[in-house]
Amino acid sequence: FPSHDTFHLHAGQWMLEHKEILRSNLFTYPLLDKLYVDLHWLYQICIYSIYSIYSYSGLIVFNSTLIVIALAILWYRIKQESPSKEYLLPFFILLFALSQSFEIRPHVFSWFFLSIQLILIRNALKGNRLSIYLSCLVQVIWINCHSLAILGPIVFLIYFMGAYRDWE
């Protein structure tokens, strides 16, 4: 494995081979055998599974697909909120700013899950009860993929505080 992917791929490989979640750090020198809470275990298993079948080509396609879906959802949401063309410049500035972090890393999952959560929350505010349950399911999966899952409850709270203010 190349060095920047080593930890996540090795962790996913180890967990699939041993059929348990890492509890100690096995791959970084200064922290060998220290207690380790693996916040990315589901991400690591997922990318190692893709890697073991499709090699790096599969990881690149998978990562690119998640990024494109997250950006497409963002584009769709911005376009719904602002039907004028004013949304184009901020969108492309964001795209340019984010392009430096398009590497295969767990934060891409957070972009994807945040995009999905925003759609589900919006649907829930429109009265779709199924969206609330799906939002909870997405949150459980997200929590096991990346530490930025804390954004889910924060965004949920902000949306519903705004909705509550509008109802008064």
pLDDT digits (tens, 9 = 90+) for 81-123: 776 777 677 777 777 777 666 778 888 899 899 999 999 988 9
Rg, Å, the chain Cα set: 18
- Residue 24 dihedral angles phi and psi, to the nearest 5°: -140, 155
- Looking at residue 101, its pLDDT comes to 67
- At 98, list the tokens: 């984010």
| Amino acid letter for position 107 | H
Please report the pLDDT score of residue 107 as a whole number. 85
Spatial distance between the Cα atoms of 49 and 43, rounded to a whole number of angstroms? 10
Judged against a pLDDT cut of 80, whether residue 17 lies above it is answered with: yes
Query: Residue 24 forms beta bridges with which residues?
Result: 35
- Angstrom distance (rounded) from CA 7 to CA 55: 16
> pLDDT for 21-78, tens place per residue?
988 877 766 767 778 788 899 999 999 999 999 999 999 999 999 988 988 888 888 7
Its pTM stands at: 0.78
Tokens 């990315």, located at residue? 40
Give 95's DSSP letter: H
Distance, in Å, from the CA atom of 168 to the CA atom of 164, rounded to the nearest integer, reads 7
- DSSP string covering 40-52, please? THHHHHHHHHHHH
